[in-house]
Amino acid sequence: MIEYALLFGLGFLTAAFLVFLVLPAVHRRIVWYTENRLKATMPLSPQEVRAQKDMVRALYAAENARTAQDLQREREKSLSLQLRHDALAVDAGRLASEVNEARAQIGEMQVEAAEQRSHLRKDENYISQLKTSLHIAEQAGSNKDSELETLRARLSKLAEQTDSLKIDLAARETEAENLKFRANALREERDTIRQDMTVLQKRAKDAEQKLSQQQHMVIRLEDKAAREAASAADKEVLLGRRQQEIARLKDQLKAANAELRKAAKVLRDAGLAKSLADLPAEAASEAETSELDLTAIAAQMSDNVRRRSAALADHLFKARNNTGRDGALREEITSIAANMVALTALKEGPSSPILPLLPAAGEKKGANDRVNLADRAATIIADPQR
């Protein structure tokens, strides 16, 4: 098939080449006959001759261009045929190599067929041996038929046993289904329990957070209780001191009452008993009342001084860099100091060494005189409930 295609292509190319060779001569012949006919039919002027020549030249150029295009197309066709020829040649070589490989495989297969024939002969010999052994087996099979009968009886018994086992198996399958249902129910319960566990874990975390907050609160409350206990201890100490002062004042009151009795006795002896009969009881009651009032006033002044001191310290700590209220702060500090001096003098009583150092409460000063700490303390002692 490839050879026929190649021969056809070569013949076509040869014919095209011959046509291209003969075509110029034929064209010239046609042109010559045409010119002779035109010359014979009509007289020509020089202009017409030139025009006809130009027309003939144009026709000739057009024919040449058409011929060149045809030649180019034929060359392209010949080139494509050449390429197809080369491709077909490559395919032919490949097919030839495949044919050679197929022939080699055929040879190998022939060798394998010879080997298979030898194996077949061996198998035929083996089959003959098997036939003899089969005959022997048939003889042995007749002997085993009786055994088969016994085995069939046993098989029937086994079939009955298998039926009973199938029944048991069906019962167990039903039990297995029940167990599956129970397992599914247990899985659902497990899922619900897991969900409950997650909820409980969240609640436990929230409770832990609340517990930690409560612990921090308890620690703060313990610190506050410790501070309050310390302040209570200070108050107890102050209370003990006040009780001691009260006891001391009671002793002084008893001594004063004894002195008053002695004075009353002296007055009776002097004849002034009727005018001064009620003096000791009134004096005792007034002294006792004054002592109790002084104790309450001293306690109130002590609490007031403590609160003012704490407020002043807090204010000084917060307004450390603020110097706009120094005058007011100095005034507050002076007032607290005067209260402390007056409280000390009141606690010590009339025997206090502070009282002789203080000026009289009613002493007047000028408008430009400065009020010092002694004046403030004397004013507070004169009117403690102010």
| Distances 107 to 28, 93, 103, 115, 310 between C-alpha atoms, Å | 67, 21, 6, 13, 122
- What is the value of pTM for the model shown? 0.28
Residue 260 is predicted with a pLDDT of 65
Q: Which residue has the higher pLDDT, 52 or 127?
A: 127
φ/ψ region of 271 (left if φ > 0, alpha if ψ in -120 to 50, else beta) reads left
What number is the average pLDDT over the span 211-232? 74
Tens of pLDDT along 240-260?
Answer: 776 777 777 677 767 766 766
Residue 257 is predicted with a pLDDT of 65
- DSSP-derived letter for residue 359 is P
The shares of helix, strand and coil residues in the chain, as percent rounded to the nearest 5, are 90, 0, 10
Tens of pLDDT along 288-310?
Answer: 445 546 677 777 777 777 777 77
Domain range list for the chain: 2-125, 293-319+326-386
What number is the average pLDDT over the span 179-196? 86
Are residues 286 and 292 in contact, defined by beta-carbon separation less than 8 angstroms? no
Whether 354 shows a pLDDT value over 80: the answer reads no
SS (H, E, C) 14-35: HHHHHHHHHHHHHHHHHHHHHH
- Model confidence band, residue 270 (pLDDT cutoffs 50, 70, 90): low
Q: Which residue has the higher pLDDT, 277 or 52?
A: 52
Residue 138 is predicted with a pLDDT of 81
Whether 279 shows a pLDDT value over 80: the answer reads no
φ and ψ of 354, to 5 deg: -80, -30
The Cα–Cα gap between 115 and 171 comes to 61
